[in-house]
Amino acid sequence: MFDIQAQLFEAQDIRFGPIDHETHPEVESRWTHDAEFMRLMELKPVRPLSPAMVKKKYETIEKEMDEQKNLFYFTIRAREDDRLIGKALIEWVDWSNGNGYILIGIGEPEFRRKGYGSQALKMLLRYAFGELNLYRVTAVVPAYNEGALGFFQKFGFMEEVRRRKALHRDGVFWDIIGLGLLNAEWREQFNGRG
């Protein structure tokens, strides 16, 4: 049974929120200077961004959310002080087939490996399946990101697609792996509590 009373945008230690154009560009700009984090988050070539560039990116994101209606972008904030610690997205939503792609990242190093990503993914899946009523979601992960592969598999995601040697990093070609989770699998696994 789906719990209509469950908090949609808050978990034990974190909450989802909108973009704050005043404080967030400075924080996310700092994340873009962390090559390790960016290479785990992004498949495209990474580069450091200034706060002004991040602010412009936020404007593009909000415009796409308003016009295209196929992107849902949440900031991840620590509940104790409302500090920006990461981001969670449902993107490239294909409404006619009920498909979407998800992306999650904890940008603040001291908040990694403490369960905040798990809390964020639970909320994101609850939103994708319970609120948007998507049929399936996909996470795309480079093969070298073993932590993310294990993380998504822990939540019931199954490897569906492996694009062999599709990503070039530091002189090595890596596979790109697509992991999928169906709404029915999520409901069965979490009994609708997500």
Q: Where are the domains of the chain?
A: 14-190
Gap between the Cα atoms of 45 and 86, Å rounded: 20
Average pLDDT, the chain: 92
pLDDT in tens, 98-153: 999 999 999 998 898 899 999 999 999 999 999 999 999 999 999 999 999 999 99
91 CB-near residues (< 8 Å, 6+ apart): 70, 71, 72, 73, 100, 101, 102, 103
- For domain 14-190, give the fold: Aminopeptidase (3.40.630)
pLDDT for the residue numbered 46: 87
